Structure formats: C-alpha cells, structure tokens
Amino acid sequence: MSLVLYAHPFSSYCQKVLVALYENDTAFEYRNLEDPAHLQALARLWPMKRFPILVDGTRTVIEATSIIEYLHVCHPGPVRLMPIDPLAAVGVRMLDRFFDNYVSTPQQKIVFDALRPAADRDARGVAEARAMLDTAYAWLERHLEDGRSWASGEEFSLADCAAAPFLFYADWTQPIPLARRHLRAYRQRLLQRPSFACVVEQARPYRHFFPLATLDRD
C-alpha cells in the first residue's frame, strides 16, 4: 500500500481528507496520531507538526486541500471531487476557501480560546469570531436557497469535504439558528453521507477533547 495518512480522528482538517479518501474507497494506511511513534514520525516528515499529511512513496503532501487535489490527480476514483470544467473548478475552490477561512477559522478561534487559562483569554477576538460565523451562516443560507444538494451544485466535491467537518464543529460551537433552514438541512445531508458518517463514528471516542460542551447529538 503506497498511501500513508498521518491524521487524528477528531481533527476537522484530517476529517476533510478522510471524507475524500472514503468517497472513492481509496486504499491507504491510517497512522493515528494518538500513537506517540506516529506523532514523532510526523514531526520528522514535517517540522511544522501540522496534520494531516499524506505520504505517497517518496512524496510528502501537506495541507488538507492540497492532499485532496493530489488524490484527484494521482489516485482518482469514481467520485470526481473536482469538476472537469475549469471555471466550475474555480467555483469549487472558492467554496473550499470559504469553508476554511470563514467557518473553520473562527470556529477554531473560539475553541482554542476556551482551552486557554481564563486569564489569557481573548474576549474581543472570540466576539469577532462569533460575528464572523453568524455572517458565514447568513451567506451560506442565501447560497443554498436555490435548492442545490451540495455546496457547488448537484455533485459532491472538494467543497463538501471541507463543509462536512467544519459545519459539524461550527454548529457545536455556535449553533446554526433555526431560521437558517437551508443550511441546517445541508448539514444534515452531510451527516447522512456515508463517507462522513464513517468519519463521525471514528471520532466519537474523542469527543471529550471538545472544551465547550460534551455533546451526544450527531
């Protein structure tokens, strides 16, 4: 088996890549970073010590989006996560960036702040992050109003690989308002997608890591 993924089941960025792998039933070796030996190996491969990383023979690929694009090019499967049409591909990449920058980034700001000692917390930064999530929820609600099934239309794509874990944790961090019915329905469709349902189950034993609440839903 040539593909090796260094990842942690509870990490949203790792989950993003796992969804892509499971969508196409791509064979890979999963090196769970709960194992200290795998964590040490990751540090040798990538001094920034960020994950996931994918190793394919002598090639090491970092960053979740880049890993998914690499899989699309070098290990394609029946589910095309990037459109053939170049302009449509730009749209998918735009949405991928939206979920990374305007859903995941503020969500993680809130979570990381909760992990700090009380004296070191950044109340203003957290308020700004919550405002950004509210704005992102409103934008996504309008984006989904046309009845599309997935982020970029009727085909599951890279953008949905990002949306699945990021909206999962965002709703835990700042619940999506009931009025955002299109967005809430989209999140539910993502939860029902077999690839992401598998990821959610693999991460379930690690829910105690989440600092804001212990949630049994989802």
User: Looking at residue 177, what DSSP letter applies?
Assistant: P
Asked whether residue 36 is assigned to any structural domain, the reply reads: no
Tokens representing residue 104 in the block:
């995941």
The total number of structural domains in the chain stands at 1
- pLDDT of res. 213: 76
Q: Give the three-class secondary structure for 148.
A: coil
- Could you read off the pLDDT of 134-156 as tens digits, one per residue? 999 999 999 999 999 999 999 99
In a domain, 104, yes or no: yes
Distance between CA atoms of 42 and 177, rounded to whole angstroms? 39
Within-domain flag for 139? yes
User: pLDDT per residue over 147-185, tens digit each?
Assistant: 999 999 999 999 999 999 999 999 999 999 999 999 999
Residue 141 lies in a domain: yes
Give the single-character DSSP code of 103: I
Are the CB atoms for 31 and 18 separated by under 8 Å? no
Let me know if 112 is exposed, middle or buried by CB neighbors in 10 A (0-12, 13-18, 19+). middle
116: in domain: yes
What is the model's pLDDT at position 218?
A: 85
For residue 67, what pLDDT is reported?
98
Give the rounded percent of residues in the chain with a pLDDT score beyond 90. Answer: 96
**Structural domain of 160:** 86-193
pLDDT in tens, 61-98: 999 999 999 999 999 999 999 999 999 999 999 999 99
- 175 vs 137: CA distance, rounded Å: 10
Is pLDDT at 214 greater than 70 in this prediction?
Answer: no
Q: pTM of the entire structure?
A: 0.96
Domain contains 51: no
What is the CATH classification number for the domain harbouring 165?
A: 1.20.1050.10
Helix segments in the chain, DSSP class H: 12-23, 36-45, 64-74, 86-98, 105-115, 123-143, 158-173, 181-192, 194-203
The reply to whether 68 falls in a domain is no
Query: What three-state secondary structure class fits 36?
Result: helix
Q: Under a CB-based contact definition with an 8 Å cutoff, are residues 197 and 204 in contact?
A: no
Q: Indicate whether 154 belongs to any domain.
A: yes
The percent of residues in the chain predicted with pLDDT above 70, rounded, is 99
Cis peptide before 52 (omega within 30 of 0): yes
